[in-house]
């Protein structure tokens, strides 16, 4: 998020505030409900959250600089210590604006909150950029200080991943899986990591971050396995319904003394067995693509179209037989059993008699 802030000019920030104001004017200020009772933040609250994130990143950078005596000496050697202190003072003004933004939110003064948050963002952007320039001029741009801040930001990103995973995990998720997220979250203690970095323990923080990422990766693997298993069940169920539907058509027709030879020939098949063999071959191809479900869906669409075409032709033939003349019928007895897998249908055509 701070990268976005760095790229925004003060004028762009003002434009952002104007856009937010327009959104607030065009829509009700009251919260919008969605999902399972969650409340969507107003534009003003979202902007203040962005400012909060920027403030924390600037604060982390300042703390890391002042905790490193060698860095301070190098900055002083190039005559930029006063500039650093001036930026810290300016940072304090930004914090004051951010505090005012939070106060405005509490009394639902959303316009005031946007103004204060916008000013705070502009200040934090300026301070962040200036301190990095100071570090570069002092020969510290590629130093461990910048790496330390990157570690804190990486930990914050992993915490957000944990939040997203908790939102999508099914309610019946095993306790050992949810415990993995709890353990990872406990490892990603930003305050503890910041303290370690201030003491120069960057290696320990990197190890903690890596351990947390491995725990989170296990949860990702679990979700992937669950998705593949569920997709496999859907694929198997769909294919079995297709088989049963077309077998039922042939069975009912044969019991009624209907010869489907002309129907099969018109569609390029010499016999019922040849059609069923072709169908089975296509089904096995689809099942072979379980690992690449996008390809499997394409295979299922082809199966659905082929079976639907045969089903409609057979229905027309059966209607002709029942009516006792060659009117051709309208095929209205046919139900669409194909081509709807990817659209969420179950492909179950029922009996269609």
Q: Tell me, what DSSP letter sits at residue 27?
A: S
Q: Is residue 56 part of a domain?
A: yes
pLDDT for 111-135, tens place per residue? 998 999 999 999 999 998 898 888 8
Tell me the average pLDDT across 318-324: 76
CA-based torsion, 90, 93, 98, 101: positive or negative: negative
pLDDT for 136-173, tens place per residue? 888 775 556 666 777 888 888 888 888 888 887 888 88
pLDDT of 262 > 70? The answer is yes
Which residues share a beta bridge with 39?
Answer: 33
User: Cβ of 160: how many Cβ atoms within 10 Å?
Assistant: 9
User: Tokens 């939040």 appear where?
Assistant: 163
Q: Tell me, what DSSP letter sits at residue 336?
A: -
pLDDT for 283-293, tens place per residue? 888 888 776 76
Contact 42, 24 (CB under 8 A): yes
Q: Which two three-digit tokens encode residue 20?
A: 């937010």
pLDDT at 334: 41
Q: Is residue 218 part of a domain?
A: no
Q: Is residue 318 part of a domain?
A: no
Q: Is residue 335 part of a domain?
A: no
Q: Tell me, what DSSP letter sits at residue 42?
A: P
3-state SS, 113-155, equals HHHHHHHHHHHHHHHHHHHHHHHHHCCCCCCHHHHHHHHHHHH
The torsion of the CA quartet 252, 254, 258, 264, rounded to 10 degrees, works out to 100
Tell me the average pLDDT across 72-99: 90
Q: Is residue 73 part of a domain?
A: yes
pTM over 0.75: no
Please give the full DSSP string across 268-335, using - where no structure is assigned.
T-SSHHHHHHHHHHHHHHHHTTTTSHHHHHHHHHHHHHHHHHHHHHHHHHHHHHHHTS------TT--
Domain count, the chain: 1
pLDDT of 180 > 90? The answer is yes
Compute the distance between CA of residue 181 and CA of residue 168 in angstroms, rounded to an integer: 13
178 to 157, 161, 267: CA distances (angstroms): 19, 13, 54
Compute the distance between CA of residue 306 and CA of residue 127 in angstroms, rounded to an integer: 65
Contact 5, 50 (CB under 8 A): yes
The alpha helices in 8-143, defined as continuous H runs, are 10-26, 43-66, 69-77, 81-106, 110-137
pLDDT for 186-232, tens place per residue? 999 988 888 887 777 778 888 998 999 899 989 888 887 887 777 77
The residue range of the domain holding 113 is 1-142
Compute the distance between CA of residue 120 and CA of residue 16 in angstroms, rounded to an integer: 13
* pLDDT band at residue 351 using 50, 70 and 90 as cut-offs: very low
234 sits in which H/E element: helix 202-255
């Amino acid at each position: 998020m701070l990268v976005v802030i760095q790229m925004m000019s003060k004028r762009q920030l003002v434009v952002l505030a104007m856009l937010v104001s327009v959104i607030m004017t065009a829509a009700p200020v009251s919260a919008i409900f969605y999902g399972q009772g969650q409340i969507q933040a107003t534009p003003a609250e979202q902007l203040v959250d962005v400012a909060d994130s920027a403030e924390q990143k600037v604060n982390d950078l300042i703390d890391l600089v002042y905790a490193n005596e060698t860095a301070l000496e190098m900055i002083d050697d190039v005559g930029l210590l006063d500039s650093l202190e001036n930026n810290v003072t300016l940072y304090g003004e930004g914090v004051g604006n951010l505090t005012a933004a939070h106060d405005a939110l509490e009394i639902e003064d959303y316009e005031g909150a946007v103004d204060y948050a916008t000013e705070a963002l502009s200040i934090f952007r300026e301070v962040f950029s200036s301190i990095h320039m100071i570090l570069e001029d002092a020969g510290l741009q590629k130093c461990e200080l910048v790496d330390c801040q990157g570690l804190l930001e990486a930990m914050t990103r992993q915490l957000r991943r944990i939040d997203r995973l908790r939102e999508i995990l099914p309610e019946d998720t095993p306790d050992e899986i949810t415990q993995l997220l709890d353990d990872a979250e406990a490892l990603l203690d930003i305050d503890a990591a910041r303290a370690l970095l201030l003491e120069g323990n960057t290696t320990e923080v990197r190890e903690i971050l890596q351990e947390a990422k491995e725990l989170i990766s296990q949860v990702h693997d679990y979700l992937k396995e669950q998705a593949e298993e569920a997709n496999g069940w859907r694929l198997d169920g769909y294919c079995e319904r297709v088989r049963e539907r077309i077998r039922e058509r042939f069975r009912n027709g044969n019991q009624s003394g209907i010869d489907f030879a002309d129907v099969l020939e018109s569609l390029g098949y010499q016999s019922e067995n040849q059609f069923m063999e072709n169908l089975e071959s296509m089904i096995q191809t689809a099942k072979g693509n379980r690992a690449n479900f996008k390809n499997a869906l394409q295979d299922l669409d082809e199966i659905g179209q082929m079976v639907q075409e045969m089903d409609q032709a057979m229905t027309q033939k059966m209607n002709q037989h029942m009516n006792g003349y060659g009117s051709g019928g309208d095929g209205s007895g046919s139900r669409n059993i194909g081509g709807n897998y990817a659209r969420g249908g179950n492909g179950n055509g029922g009996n269609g008699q």
